[in-house]
Amino acid sequence: MSWLFTRALRRYVLLAGAASLVLNLMALAPSLFMLQVFDRVFASSSVETLTMLSLFVVLALAVMWVMDRLRAVTLAWAGSVLDRQLGPEVLAGLLRGSAQPGGAHNQHTLRDVGLLRNMLGGGAIMAVFDAPWLPLYLVVIYAFDPAMAALSLGGAVLLFVLVLINERLTNAPIQATTLASRNAARFIDAALRNAEVIAGMGMGRAVVARWQQHNDEVLEAQMRLSRLQAALQASVRLLRQGMQAGMVALGAWLVLRDHASPGIMVAATILLGKALQPVEQLVSGWRGLVEARAAWARLSSEPLRHDGSRVALPAPDGKLDVERLVYGLPGQRVAIIKGISFSQAAGTCLGIVGPSGSGKTTLLRLMLGIWQPQSGCVRLDGADLAKLDTDHLARYIGYLPQDVELFAGTVADNIARMGEVDSEAVVAAARQAGVHDLILRLPEGYDTRIGDAGAGLSGGQRQRIALARALYGDPRLVVLDEPNSNLDAEGESALLQALASLRERGCTVVMVGHRPSAMRAVDTLAVLRDGALDAYGPRDQILARLAQAAQGGAPAGPAAPVVNVVAAPVQKVN
């Protein structure tokens, strides 16, 4: 994403740099004013000269105020633009990563964007823009007296040496502190997600004790870093003040030897303080700059979102082809899905059954394009799901996961998939899912607000509303992962009616289930065992073969490979 940074920030950085140039030129005015007052006004006793000099310095200070404000506002704009441009990309990447096995690789990318935004609006960045103008002040001091310039240059070199020492000594402690803080925050997030289990099993004391261990690591890392930074900051402050005192002493000696005037002594001392001040600010704000630099590096390494083909394909009919699908978790040698192939006609219903751990949910995630296979592909109407525009594809796919999650908002918001609410489409989806009457019985109907993860609703209510969400917008492919796991008799009856309605509309349905009642609604049945397709064919034939196997007859598989069609005789896959 580094090109996004450059494109978003270039003009703002240039404008802030130009403002810094004018600001630092105007910052010479107070020193020059002191010089003229000591060397000309006192000598001539001219009120007119003092008045003109005063007007000049007031004008210069006014320009400084304008440039200082312009620079601050420009950098704040830069932070805002950066956030607006990177925020959606980063959040999309974070969502994609969180959907993958093991969750997101970088769960703090949005915090990184916020850190950069705050850095661009903070004081440390001002020192970054002011420090490069140090040579300008040294040139002016050299014009006053070479000896004073030599002293100033020596002090500047010493300060920059301290900056380099600060860089070398504090980088590792800063990274350690940041890592410890994130580990503690991650543990808190996990504890809050499992608060019900913690409360129900009396784990609160143990969880607090474990968090205390993480927090102690954070405190120890912060204390080590604070001691180190305090020593370096005190050294820089002492050096700067010592340099100013040395400049006064050198100036006084030059005045006594008639090599300089009192005005030069005062002006050079003020200029030296102004020149060295940004360097001191850099050391004070070094931790923020290091963290911002690390955030910049992390965001630069994030891949851009790729939504597949930009050619808008027509609405799919729903024909589903799974071709030699192989998938395994990263770092594991044994595949979870082992060369599965089948073809499901549009407008039919496929049921997937198998023992726990056979790969049913993994197969659904591959069918939806949530996970990408190591080899093989899933095609919808002949198009590879991995290469389709996800925004375009989302309108034609419905998904009810095994673990139902709803968002904080109204019931209508959730059915409309958190997008703009189309009231007619929301009600139509609820009616099709058989949940319309249930919603009307809620305190405010479709406008009833629910909490995070569907707080305020029972498990069955959440599952039925999530089914309506899956059916919203007339999808052509609906994938259901154990849609009746939390349903009572009324809910299961509504589910069967919804499946019948989907078949009438010609929608392709893929459903994982354990209860035989749900399997009555499917046309085709696929049996998974150890990640392989053990049997595939018409429902009644597969159920009869499974019943025969359960009674001790011929085993259910494996036999010849299956490639397509729904109403074919029972076929099996090696």
The Cα-based distances of 36 to 29, 259, 518 in angstroms read 10, 17, 94
Higher pLDDT, 197 or 563: 197
Q: Which residues contact 165 (CB under 8 A, 6 or more apart)?
A: 232
229-265 pLDDT per residue, tens = 888 888 888 888 888 899 889 989 988 888 888 888 8
User: Quick one: pLDDT band at residue 564, thresholds 50, 70, 90?
Assistant: very low
Q: Give the pLDDT of residue 312.
A: 65
67-79 pLDDT per residue, tens = 999 999 999 888 8
DSSP one-letter code for 38: I
User: Distance between CA 324 and CA 305 in Å, rounded?
Assistant: 27
Q: Which residues contact 103 (CB under 8 A, 6 or more apart)?
A: 97
Region of 281 (left: φ > 0; alpha: ψ -120 to 50; beta: rest) is alpha
CA angle 270/134/289 to nearest 5° reads 110
The Cα-based distances of 221 to 48, 192, 286 in angstroms read 61, 25, 16
Q: Which residues contact 519 (CB under 8 A, 6 or more apart)?
A: 351, 353, 513, 525, 539, 543
User: Quick one: pLDDT band at residue 218, thresholds 50, 70, 90?
Assistant: confident
283-321 pLDDT per residue, tens = 777 777 877 887 777 777 665 555 555 566 678 888 999
User: Distance between CA 134 and CA 151 in Å, rounded?
Assistant: 14
User: Quick one: pLDDT band at residue 405, thresholds 50, 70, 90?
Assistant: confident
User: Distance between CA 342 and CA 528 in Å, rounded?
Assistant: 12
Half-sphere exposure of 510 (CA within 13 A, CB side): 29
Average pLDDT over residues 515-526: 79
134 within 8 A of 279, measured Cβ to Cβ = yes
Amino acid at 147: A
Q: Give the pLDDT of residue 431.
A: 93
Average pLDDT over residues 187-204: 80
User: Quick one: pLDDT band at residue 454, thresholds 50, 70, 90?
Assistant: low
Half-sphere exposure of 225 (CA within 13 A, CB side): 22
Average pLDDT over residues 25-34: 90
Q: Which CATH class is domain 134-284?
A: mainly alpha
Radius of gyration of the chain (CA): 35
566 pLDDT higher than 60: no
Closest CA to 125 of 172, 78, 189, 174: 78
Q: Are strands 524-529 and 532-538 parallel, antiparallel or unpaired?
A: antiparallel
Placement of tokens 């979102």 in the chain = 305
**What is the token pair recorded at 542?**
């597969």
184 within 8 A of 215, measured Cβ to Cβ = yes
User: What's the predicted TM-score (pTM) here?
Assistant: 0.69
- E strand or H helix at 470, and its extent? helix 459-471
Q: Give the pLDDT of residue 552.
A: 65
Q: Which CATH class is domain 312-396+476-574?
A: alpha beta
Placement of tokens 């210069």 in the chain = 60
331 within 8 A of 308, measured Cβ to Cβ = no
Q: Is the dihedral of CA 8, 13, 16, 22 positive or negative?
A: negative
Query: Which residues does residue 450 pair with via DSSP β-bridges, in sequence order?
Result: 409
User: Distance between CA 420 and CA 412 in Å, rounded?
Assistant: 10
User: Distance between CA 359 and CA 355 in Å, rounded?
Assistant: 9
User: Distance between CA 113 and CA 84 in Å, rounded?
Assistant: 10
Higher pLDDT, 494 or 386: 494
168-182 pLDDT per residue, tens = 888 888 888 888 888
- What percent of the chain is predicted at pLDDT more than 70? 89
Q: Which residues contact 94 (CB under 8 A, 6 or more apart)?
A: 104, 106, 107, 109, 110
* Centroid of chain to Cα 43: 66
Domain ranges of the chain: 1-123, 134-284, 312-396+476-574, 407-474
